[in-house]
Chains A and B, each alone.
Chain A
Amino acid sequence: MNLLSCKETSRLLSQGEDRRLAFGERVALRVHLAICKGCRNVSRQFRFLRQAVHALAESDAGK
């Protein structure tokens, strides 16, 4: 079983937004996230960024 560091987890969380992770990667992520609150927060924040960019396109904040 490959244990991830937080650094590797952050990298994989980002890649998970861009490609389908391999089964082993998904398992390793799940194990790490179960014990690491910081990385769980990062996971939500990466996903939130996508929503935020969409909200930006719908707004007229730039004017």
Chain B
Amino acid sequence: MIRFVAARAGGALAVLAAISLFVAFGIRLTGDPAVVLFQGSAPSAEDIARIRHALGTDRPFLAQYAGFVAGAVRGDLGTSFRSGQPVAGVILERAGPTLALGVGGMLVALAAAFPLGAYAATHRNALADFLIRVGSLLGLSFPNFWLAIMLILIVAVRLRWLPPSGYSGPASLVLPCVTLGVILASTLVRLVRASLLDTLGQPYMRTARAKGLREGRVVVRHGLRNALLPVVTFVGLQFGALLGGVVVLENVFAWPGLGQLALQAVTYRDYPVVQGVVVVLALAVVLVNLLVDLSYGLLNPRVRVSS
């Protein structure tokens, strides 16, 4: 077990190093932040040279990258080109809203997906099952920004129940989390249903029923627990993609999170922030994947990776 974790930790570090290198290199292919600072005017060559020197982007690539790595291991992710603030502080400040959005959305999705998926599986091919499956398809068919704008128009503008956007308290969390939750739930419902259908037909389930356990207990105790495996897999696989969807939602809801930060930083070629955000996000994804793999071993002994 220790060897397993240690090996994975080593791999994770390698992944982080590779990603930071790719990002640092890739973002420098796409335009000069010195020039971008002059948006709205026309810079002279000396203006650009002066700014490039002040930002440190006139040094060779490896020197810049080495500087970034040296700082990163100390916890110093550099200083934003645009705002002059330390990147680590900026990221910490923005992590809260994104965390709230992601976790809230996931909770909404789970709260909807498990009951609905279970109901659909246990009433297979009934009308309810059909409606739930069609409903889940609806959630998959409209882009996230469209769902978000529709919710804003209906709930915030017509009904005036909630604020349309912004990060200002529990009420403002509802619309973004529900939007994200609906989208996630659409896939999760189908996963839960499919997994439950698999499990409920297994011989050991017949045994459980034969033992006299109530159907509900059987479903929940054994069925849903086994459904956790594909759900967890899904979360692990989709975590990275989730971040992409969060970018759009944060944009529509004016949500001051990491998604917005990343988008703006890339748009304005704020290299230190881009590098810092990508490394932090990659770390999060790697950690989540590690947790998923570990839980695999716990949830399904057959899959335990032998060294």
- Do A and B pair up? The answer is no
| Chain B interface residues toward A at CB < 8 A | none
